[in-house]
Structure formats: structure tokens, C-alpha cells
Structure 1
Amino acid sequence: MPYATDSEYVTIEGLRAYVATPRPEGGNAQKTGMLLLPMITGIGAQVREFADMIAAQTGAVALSWDPWHGVSSDDADFDVLHGLLDELKDETAIAEQQTLLTHMREDLGLERIGVIGWCLGGRFAFILGGLDHNLVNVLAFHPTVPGEPAPTHTYDVVDLAAAMQAPAFMAYPGKDSIVPRENFLRLQEALQNRTDSPSIIHLYPQAKHGFSDKRRHNEEVNATAFQLSWPQALAFISATTASATTAP
């Protein structure tokens, strides 16, 4: 049964974020959470919808990092957003995400927390998963792992994906124009070579980069990929946040 939710923008240690919170049932506060790492759109309408859906369908508090500190696709064109992306340093992004995780654990009292990201956020989900072994899941939709790392990329995503201890879910579009297939294969091998944690890997051969975004659903291959993958992602979140899957 879906949860009723409340959603709002909040400020955490100077960082703007968007949070969707399921209303407690029977007076019991929620103990699970998901940190959302957006695509280039920032906390635009699509990412807010994802947060609301995760909270409503899984009962987890859904807190979204804001990579652009107030700018989003709601009010900025993609030239502006790409300019911001070019300046985004790995160390800065990870430090902000870790600040939000600390808030979720210490201030909100959440006990089982996972991370989900799209595009650039999918790449950061793998990085964060390799650094933080207390996460209960890591989900990445069409993670942006380019053929040549950007000058601002200082983390090796494949190495960190191999180091993750949480159950992992990855959805990759076979017609991704940004991420070479060999990088997907390297990520797949890194995940599947882990000996203690399960991995679920989806390949949608005809889908394109960013297929989760509704603006790309005018192409049937993208809409179909999302319709197949999203319900499974929600079920994966529910299963991993509800059980004791955190690594020791």
C-alpha cells in the first residue's frame, strides 16, 4: 500500500536538498532512507518525482542532493547545466553527499540507508558505494562513465564498484552515446566479481542514455526500458532497506 508523503526543500549544513518523507504509520517514525544523486537536471521536476515515488512506494525517506545549489532544469537551459557539470569536482561532490548521509544517520535517525543515482549521479553512486560500506544498496541508472575521464574526475569508478559491499542494481542502455560499451562491460565485471554481495544488471539493447527521463519517452525504446526497470528498482529498494544487508 502506498504511503502518504510530505515533500519540501530543506537546507542541511548550508546545502540545499529536497526531501520526501513518508508519514509515520501508528506513530512509528521511518527508519529507512535513500540518498538520491540527480542527473544533470539537478533537482528538477523529474528528480523530485523520483523522490516522491520512492518515498510513497517503499516507505523510505528520499533525500536528494542538489549538485547545482538551486539551479535546475526547471529554470536553466542545458548549456548552463553542462557548464556547471564541467566545473564539478569529484571531491566536492562526494564531500557534500557524505554530509547528507551524516544528516540522515545522525539527525534523522535513519538506520538503513541506500543510494540511487542517474547519469552523473549513477557514477557518484558507485563511488559513494565503494567508499561507504554501511550503505544497504547502490542503484545506478545509465551511469555516466565516459571513455576518457574528465579533468575533474579523480576517482576510479570501476575500482570503487568492485570494492562495494552492498547489493547493487545497474541499468545500462545499449545505445548509450556517452558511455562506451566497454566501460559498461568493465563495470559489469567489477560487480560480478564481488564474492559477498549480489548484483542485478539490466541491459536494454536499444535504449539510449538517460532513458529514465520522461522527456526521452517520446522514443518507445526509452519508455519501455523505464517501464521495465523502474518497478524492479523500487522492489530492490524495498527489499534491501527492509532487511539486514549492511556489511559488517
Structure 2
Amino acid sequence: MAHDLRADFHSLTAALPPLSRRGFVMTASAAVGFAAAAGPVSAETVIKTDTDGLEAGDSAFTATDGTEVPVYFARPVDDDSAPVILVIQEIFGVHEHIKDVCRRLGKAGYFAVAPELYNRQGDPSGYDDIQTLLSEVVSQVPDEQVMSDLDDCVAWAAAEGGDTERLGITGFCWGGRVTWLYAAHNPDLSAGVAWYGRLVGETSDTTPQHPIDVAADLNAPVLGLYGGADSGIPVDTVEEMRSALEEAEQSFEIVVYPDAPHAFHADYRPSYREAPAQDGWERLLAWFDQHIAAA
């Protein structure tokens, strides 16, 4: 990854508005893999999905350690046994875009649940500086905690009437990486869709493995959606993952959109690209229909 850290860091910070750029000081190694700052978080999204025909809103489950973990969910009102899809946040948390993704999945017939996976470490909506958010919150979230919370979230969805025998997961950026990891963690997962999740990187106490390390251990087919112009996730790392999956004879598909940057699906940020975002969403629905809804 050291091949072009300065270029990656420049690309990352150049996308920020001037006021944010002046206050944005982080090491290039922290920036690479997230390419987080394609613009500030905004409540304004291009796609706005209503709740007609849905039961949607806030709830919570009790994690194994006793922590109350908030969730946002959306599901069809006329289906008491809809398949469950876990929706995993970007570094910015469960904001309006992630909630809208849940409603879109609800309209497609799924019980979509987005848990607040930074709940113990902090509220990402309270940060206006990405360096501080990464150092004080994101980097403090252990993968082990995330996997356990997702297991507890699945149990909560089952208790609420969701069909967890037909279980999927999708995630964006930070959540894209989590999607790959959870596919290796949960033997009962039916399918996953990872949007521009980091695949390789340095390990730490909180992140002891990355997707490339568990490529041979996936329990379910995963669709990976990546941008060819993503400076934080070089295409050669995507191809490295593809080779590892092929060698392990896994069921998967990886799609690279040549001109798309990081976060091309995030319709509240300047990185949004309508064509690959729509194509990726159609692929997600087809993937879940093939591996979950039709099961």
C-alpha cells in the first residue's frame, strides 16, 4: 500500500471543502482504505424512499455484554417472515442514507436492520473532523465486538419475526469490509454484498484480519462492488482478492466500475455516480433474489 500513499492522501483531502481541508490532518496510512472524505455528511440525499407499505423506525437489542445497541429497521407490513438483511454503516454511522437503504430493501420485501455498531465507542454524528472520528471512534471498534453484535442483531430480528434462515448482509466502505468478515464468521449466512470495502491492510489488536485473510473461509456467496478510480482501494488489491477467492473455489462475483471513485453509491456526497450506483443496486437485488429470496 506504500506505493502511492501521498497520492491517495492528496486525493482524499482534495475532495473536502476548504474549511474541512484546513482542519483535516491525518496520516496517509489512516486515510488509505477508507477514502472517507468525499464530502461531509449531509441529511440531503438524492434518493428519498418513503415508508408506504413499510413498518420502519428505531428500536434496540441487548448485546451479549448487556449493552443496548440501537437499530434502524424497515420491513414490509404484510410479511411476518421476510428474509433478514443486515445493513452495515460507513464510518459516519447510521445516518439518513443508511436508513434509506433499509427502506429500499424493505420495499423489495426484506426485513432490513442497521445496527449502531459504534454504540460503545461514540456517536459519529457528533464529529465534524474525520481525523478525530477515525482516531477516537472508528479505530477503537474491535472486529470481535462487531461480529458479536451482528450475531445478537440477527437473534433480535428472528425474535421480531424475521426469517433468519434466509439471511443476508450488505455494507458500505467500513461496512463493506465488515461484510466480507461476517461472511467468514457466520456459517448460517445466505449471501453478502460488499460495497467498496477495504480488502488488505495492516493488522492490529482491533483488526487482526482483513478480507484477504479469510477469503478461503467464506460461508456464503459474496458480491463485491468496487470503483476503478478509488484511490484508497487500488484495483490491484481487488484483483488480489479475486485471485484468492478463485483459488479457494468460492462462490463470488466482483464488479469493478472503471471510472467510479470510492463511495459511488453514497448519494449524499460528491462521490455519488448515478450509473454505477444504480447498476450496483440492481445487481444487489438480483444477488439477494438468487441466494436469499428464492431459497
TM-score bucket of the superposed structures, by smaller chain: 0.7 to 0.9
1 CA distance for matches of 2:129 and 2:275?
Answer: 25
- Partner SS state of residue 137, structure 2: helix
- Superposed CA offset, 1:99-137 (max 9, x none): 112222345351311111111111111111011121110
1 CA distance for matches of 2:187 and 2:167?
Answer: 11
2:119 paired with 1:65: no
Shift of 1:227: 2.0
Tell me what 2:294 maps to. 243
1 CA distance for matches of 2:258 and 2:187?
Answer: 31
Tell me what 1:85 maps to. 138
Tell me what 1:5 maps to. 54
Task: Give 1:133-152 correspondences, 5 Å limit.
Answer: 133-149=187-203, 152=206
- Superposed CA offset, 1:3-55 (max 9, x none): 8212111110011111111111xxx5123110111111211011001010011
Unaligned runs of 5+ in 2: 1-50, 63-67
The answer (yes or no) to whether the contact 2:76–2:106 under 8 Å persists in 1 is: yes
Equivalent of residue 37 in structure 1, options 82, 88, 103: 88
Q: Structure 1 stretches (4+) deviating beyond 6 angstroms?
A: none
- Superposed CA offset, 1:79-99 (max 9, x none): 353231121111111111111
1 CA distance for matches of 2:206 and 2:146?
Answer: 11
2 CA distance for matches of 1:23 and 1:205?
Answer: 39
Give the CA RMSD over aligned residues: 2.3
- Partner SS state of residue 268, structure 2: helix
Query: Aligned letter for 1:5?
Result: L
Distance 1:78 1:142, change over 3 A: farther
- Superposed CA offset, 1:133-173 (max 9, x none): 21110110000235434552112422323211312110011
Equivalent of residue 211 in structure 2, options 153, 157, 162: 157
Deviates more, 1:46-55 or 1:160-169: 160-169
Tell me what 1:233 maps to. 284
Tell me what 1:108 maps to. 161
TM-score of the pair, normalised by structure 2: 0.72
Distance 1:78 1:136, change over 3 A: farther
Unaligned runs of 5+ in 1: none
2 CA distance for matches of 1:192 and 1:215?
Answer: 35
Distance 1:89 1:165, change over 3 A: closer
2 CA distance for matches of 1:178 and 1:148?
Answer: 14
The answer (yes or no) to whether the contact 1:10–1:17 under 8 Å persists in 2 is: yes
Query: Aligned letter for 2:253?
Result: I
> Among the aligned pairs, what percent are the same residue?
23
Shift of 1:219: 5.4
Higher gyration radius (CA): 2
Distance 1:213 1:123, change over 3 A: same
The answer (yes or no) to whether the contact 2:90–2:171 under 8 Å persists in 1 is: yes
